[in-house]
Chains A and B, each alone.
Chain A
Amino acid sequence: MSMKRINEKYKVICCFEGKMDTLSCKELEKDFDQILSECKSDNMPLVFDLAGVDYIASSFLRLCGKAAQQIGVEKVSIANVTPQVKKVFKIAGLADVLTVS
């Protein structure tokens, strides 16, 4: 598992890779909170790039929910999901709230 941060002019992109299971999410929490805090203060949209992710746990969905709560639903989007991961967002009801593509 890894998370790479890319700062673009008008948005921040977090590229995830590997299995986003409970343990991985816990390890990322600190860095992730920092990113959220910065996005919030700079009023920057946040994109989660999941191209390299083949499994997500509920902890990861919780991170998405947390991001939406803190910086606003309209400013969070989930990109490049695999079909299987897209289905998880759909079943969990998050695809109705966040932009998942």
Chain B
Amino acid sequence: MWGESSDLVNDTLCNAVVSAGIFSQLNQEQTDKIVTAVYEAGLSNRVKLAKMAAEETGMGNWKDKTLKNAVATQYVYESIKNQKTAGIISENFESGISEIAQPIGPILAIIPCTNPTSTVMFKILIALKTRNPIIISAHHRALESCRETVRICYEAALGADAPEDCIIFFERGSREDTKNLMCDKRLALILATGGEGVVKAAYSSGTPALGVGAGNVPVYVEGSADVPFAAEQILISKTFDNGTICASEQSIVVEQQLSEQLKQELIARGAYFLSGEEIAAIEKVAYDKEKQTMAADIVGQSAKRAAEMAGLNIPDGVRLLVAPQKHVGYDYPLSCEILAPIIAYYTVSGFDEAVKHCIDLNFHGGIGHTVSIYSNDEEKIKAFGMTMNAGRVLVNTPSSQGAVGGMFNTLTPSLTLGCGTGGKNITMDNVSARHLLNIQRLARRRVNERMANFDSSLYFDENIDAKEIAKRFNINH
């Protein structure tokens, strides 16, 4: 507006910072009114937006995308609606500490093509709840559905007296534009969900970033597991939206004594076990060996379509392709993350071998993300959890829905799943509104009684060691 340049990036950021300023004046009640209006608009348009996303991206199916939209609005709203995010959010007389929530400023949201409309609505809700304007940068395969989502949310926000430009759709410019946007000092945070490249670009920009990495989720069916239940849950999860959720199971690891039963239970529910030749054919279409990652064209395709792409004839009604495997690594493509209803299957001798196998899978492109176990042995569940490097260790739960939270457990509902430092992320949490606030602490005088009674000149006496200092410091305490 009054910047020197009138280019796309400058205009976008000028509008965003003005909006941030105006937003900072709103109180909790005014903020919540906006969030409620946007949530209602998003939830009301869940089907329309799901159909648009499925059609535009050619990934997944509209029914599952509708459920994702419902989670991204209803479940997320339920989890944040009562949170205090403006002004004084807590006061403790004893400690003398009051916490004050401040907005962080303009947020750039990077949106993946696998979950476009749901991720847009989720990020908009948590940004508005924290009084931060948000700039939506959508994947080129999901531009129209994301643009429409933004339009719906923005209209609803303005109708509830939100500041102008609190939601901005970033019309895709050049690669340079995106880079400049990420690097601009007026931007407060990048909320990046997507492939490794975009997450790395976000972290490398110099702007604070909450990026989430890729997953490679092993699901361990332990000796005490309820096998039919496990088979049912794995099918529900891995076939959901044709496997586009990064927390979906990528490999089943099962103990020898349960393997045949699990196989039959999976087959009874629509799984198809591939032969060696069929596996080789699927590998060719599912994995890009040069880039060492899943092939873009396989993402979100049905089992039937994936089989067709590989030139395979599979029975009608097959929902999941299962590929028995022995090894883990880049020479074994199906041991890598494939966001489609294709899953690797490992049979192992017992607990130790299973856990070691899961470690290999966990560290093969999925560090910090999610792992899953079906078991009724609490000790083994804990031992498994303590060995893995995963933000979410899901127990007897479909991992796609379980990791997202709110449905099968009490994890915070989120479509941005932190992977910790192993995944080059700053958090392992399910990212939500609380991550988009600067919390100021107003600290009133509360003198440390031990310090007041301690002769601090003793610190300068070299003959007094740590134990003696601690003793005198804590005397009569």
Residues of A in contact with B (beta carbons under 8 Å apart): 22, 55-59, 61-62, 65, 68-69, 84-85, 87-94, 97
Interface string of B91-130 (1 = CB under 8 A from A): 0000000000000010000000000000000000000000
Cβ A87 vs Cβ B164 within 8 A? no
Q: List 17 A-B contacts (CB under 8 A).
A: A22-B164, A56-B22, A57-B163, A57-B164, A58-B19, A58-B165, A61-B1, A61-B21, A62-B1, A69-B2, A87-B24, A90-B21, A91-B17, A91-B24, A94-B2, A94-B21, A97-B2
Considering only CB atoms, which chain B residue lies closest to A90 in the complex?
A: B21
Select one of B1, B21, B105, B163 contacting A89, CB under 8 A.
B21
Cβ A88 vs Cβ B25 within 8 A? yes
Q: 8 Å CB contacts to A: which residues of B20-56?
A: 20-22, 24-25
A48 to chain B, nearest CB (A): 15
For A92, list chain B residues within 8 Å (CB): 17-18, 20-22
B95 to chain A, nearest CB (A): 27
For B18, list chain A residues within 8 Å (CB): 58, 61, 92-93
- Count contacts on B: residues with CB < 8 A to the other chain: 17
Considering only CB atoms, which chain A residue lies closest to B23 in the complex?
A: A91
Considering only CB atoms, which chain A residue lies closest to B1 in the complex?
A: A65
Inter-chain CA distance A67–B19, complex, in Å, is: 19
For B186, list chain A residues within 8 Å (CB): 93
Q: 8 Å CB contacts to A: which residues of B154-203?
A: 163-165, 186
Residues of B in contact with A (beta carbons under 8 Å apart): 1-2, 14-15, 17-22, 24-25, 105, 163-165, 186
Q: 10 smallest A-B Cβ distances: which pairs?
A: A92-B21, A91-B21, A88-B21, A65-B2, A92-B18, A58-B164, A58-B18, A91-B20, A93-B17, A58-B22
Inter-chain CA distance A57–B24, complex, in Å, is: 11
For B17, list chain A residues within 8 Å (CB): 91-93
For B2, list chain A residues within 8 Å (CB): 65, 68-69, 94, 97
Cβ A84 vs Cβ B25 within 8 A? yes
